[in-house]
Amino acid sequence: MEGGPDRPVAERRPRDGRAGDFQPAGRPSRSRLLALFLLGMVLFNPPLLDAFDRPAAALGLPAILLYIFAVWLAVVTLVALCLERRR
């Protein structure tokens, strides 16, 4: 049973610095995942998307398309790094 009370204290680490509140080692903190979710929400917010909705093109593709795929790739990569991070 991963992360259960039968795990030794050495394999658990405190979460958010509060005494007695432990999270199993190797699991991402909820606050990091929440922060990445909020970052994605901000980066895909219509006012920011409107800033890239221009007729200019790079590599033959509209700027808005490049922005959407670059942000999507960055958010997915950050989530993957957060989930795969183990100490």
> What does the pLDDT look like over 36-82, one tens digit per residue?
999 999 999 999 999 888 877 777 888 899 999 999 999 999 999 88
- pTM higher than 0.85 for the full model? no
Asked if the structure places residue 33 within a domain, the reply is yes
Number of domains comprising the chain: 1
- Residue 75 and residue 69: Cα distance in Å, rounded? 10
- In SS3 terms, the chain reads as CCCCCCCCHHHEEECCCCCCCEEECCCCCHHHHHHHHHHHHHHCCHHHHHHCCCCCEECCEEHHHHHHHHHHHHHHHHHHHHHHCCC
Please say if the pLDDT value at position 35 is more than 80.
yes
What domain range includes position 72?
26-84
pLDDT at residue 4 in the model: 58
Q: Comparing C-alpha atoms, which of 34, 10, 38, 40 is closest to residue 82?
A: 34
Asked if the structure places residue 35 within a domain, the reply is yes
pLDDT at residue 87 in the model: 44
Q: Which pLDDT band, with edges at 50, 70 and 90, does 31 fall under?
A: confident
Select the more confidently predicted residue: 33 or 8: 33
